[in-house]
A and B are shown apart, each in its own frame.
Chain A
Amino acid sequence: MKKHPVDDLFSRKLRDAEITPREEAYQKLQERMQSKKRRLGWWQQGPWLAAAGVSLLLIAGWLVWTNTNSEDTLTAQAKPTIESIAKQKSAQLAKSNAVEEKSTDRKEIVNQQISPEKQIAANESVTTVQKSSKIESSLPVLKSEEKQVAQVTEPTKNDKVQDVIIAHESPKAVAQTTITNTESKPTEKTVVLQLPELQQSLLAANEKVPVEKEISTASVESKNSKFDENILNQPRKSTRMAKVWKQLKNAKNGEKVDWDEVGFNPNKLLAKATGKDF
């Protein structure tokens, strides 16, 4: 298409026309570029800002979670059923008390159906079993205790017919516990400290047995009351950091760690899962 003469004239003459700008023009350009660079503030540092925001959210989330969770664990731990404890064979320090309770239950079953002569022997064996489980609960070596608990808890799942066999097995347990006792001499101190408390609970359990035939419910109640007492006897006056620090110290010294005080319980999830299985 032929170009219009007017278009042609102007385009020829003006397309590459040149007008020299003033000298200041370049300075102006540089100044504006500088000020534009300066205008790029901290809020335009995209990735760093994003990272900061995410970490802030995480911290805030963790704080809220731990706050609400610590309240939940208090109520949740007062409720665990005897079944959940029976299944929980992994040796966790926080649950060691519950395991002991379990073994007393077994002892109660034995007591019910074994003849008076054997009852004394059985009592003795059970107390030693108690002892051993107590010792090993404070031990870092967990395998031996797992075996022990397995031996103790398995019979309870079986029918009452097999209870006599349990009575026969208990001496074996005693033999094993004596061996483990010799192995675990360095932790003897903690055992001595915890024994009296243990025997008291044992006695209390024994007293209840003849009255109630539904052993499991009775033990649940006794355990619940024990937990309630624990909570009531320990008013939460100190700050969270102080509590956590105290429990850290306990863990460092090989003493029992109270997970309620820390604010979360590693056993909580496991207990819930096994509870559903039953």
Chain B
Amino acid sequence: MVKILQLFTNEGQIVIALQKGDPKAQRYFYDKYATRMLAVCVRYLTDQMEAEDVMIEGFMKVFERIDQFKGEGSFEGWVRRLITNEALMRLRSRRHIEVDIEAPEVQYQTNFDWADTSLETDDLLLLIGKLPTGYRTIFNLYAIEGYSHAEIAEQLGISESTSKSQLHRARGLLQQMLKEMESLNRTTEAMENIKKQKI
């Protein structure tokens, strides 16, 4: 492992080695990016086994198309786009993306302070996983990947206004769930504190 790390000190070297089909470089690349890319897949697909499968397919795409990477923009950004596309393809193939218009409207609490939230990554993933697929996909693409509504509309074959309204509803749902979870966490924390005090 140490030897492999010494071989590839920067991104350019990895890319060149991957373009030559070097198996060591592929292993290094996998070790470096697999955890992050699996998290991306889980955000879209929620099921970890399926996400892992999609991640593997995505890595194969990366190795196949490595020649297409011209060094414009960050390498990780390029890889992330490929993985995201793979996840979207999987969703599309299973007809997972349907636009949920009937979902309830939620009132925003604009003054809510999210900065000191005790919620951790796993909790947030769980919340995202509870969103309907359409909401989740658009929220992921817009809020986390940073796609524009135009890009999302093109990717998913929907109109920009649909993308905007879906994002709006997704935010509302997440806010509601965050609030509930936060309070739940606080009560469980309080409960545990009480238990400790009793002992």
Give the contact-size bracket for chain B. Answer: 35 or more
Interface positions, chain B 116-143, Cβ under 8 Å from A, are: 117, 119-121, 124-125, 128, 139, 142-143
Chain A residues in the interface with B (C-beta under 8 A): 4-11, 13-22, 25-26, 28-29, 32-33, 36
Partner of A9, one of B42, B55, B60, B114: B114
Q: Which residues of B contact A32 (CB under 8 A)?
A: 56-57, 60
- Which of B2-10, B33-41, B65-73 lies on the face that meets chain A? B33-41
Decide yes or no: A6 and B143 within 8 Å by CB, A14-B124, A33-B60 being known contacts.
yes
Q: Is the CB of B121 within 8 A of A17?
A: yes
Q: Is the CB of B120 within 8 A of A13?
A: yes
- List 8 contacting pairs A-B, 8 Å CB cutoff, sorted by A: A4-B143, A10-B139, A10-B174, A15-B144, A17-B43, A19-B39, A21-B55, A29-B60
Q: Is the CB of A25 within 8 A of B114?
A: no
Is B90 interfacial (CB 8 A cutoff)? no
Interface string of B93-118 (1 = CB under 8 A from A): 00000000000000000101010010
Closest to A8 in B: B114
Partner of A11, one of B56, B125, B143: B143
Decide yes or no: A10 and B34 within 8 Å by CB, A15-B144, A21-B52, A25-B55 being known contacts.
no
Decide yes or no: A14 and B55 within 8 Å by CB, A7-B142, A7-B143, A9-B114 being known contacts.
no
Q: Which residues of B contact A16 (CB under 8 A)?
A: 36
Q: Is the CB of B121 within 8 A of A13?
A: yes
Is B78 interfacial (CB 8 A cutoff)? no
Q: Which residues of A contact B125 (CB under 8 A)?
A: 14, 17
Q: Which residues of A contact B124 (CB under 8 A)?
A: 9-10, 13-14
Interface string of B17-28 (1 = CB under 8 A from A): 000000000010
Apart from A10-B124, A11-B143, A13-B124, 15 more pairs, CB < 8 Å: A5-B112, A5-B114, A6-B175, A6-B178, A7-B171, A9-B117, A9-B124, A10-B144, A11-B144, A16-B36, A17-B39, A17-B43, A18-B35, A25-B52, A36-B60
Residue of A11, A19, A22, A25 ringed by the most chain B CB atoms within 10 A: A19
Q: Determine the distance from Cα of A18 to Cα of B34 in the docked complex, in whole angstroms.
A: 8
Q: Which residues of A contact B35 (CB under 8 A)?
A: 18-21
Q: Determine the distance from Cα of A26 to Cα of B117 in the docked complex, in whole angstroms.
A: 35
Q: Is the CB of B48 within 8 A of A19?
A: yes
Q: Which residues of B contact A18 (CB under 8 A)?
A: 35-36, 38-39
Q: How far is the CB of A22 from chain B (nearest CB, A)?
A: 7
Q: Determine the distance from Cα of A5 to Cα of B112 in the docked complex, in whole angstroms.
A: 8
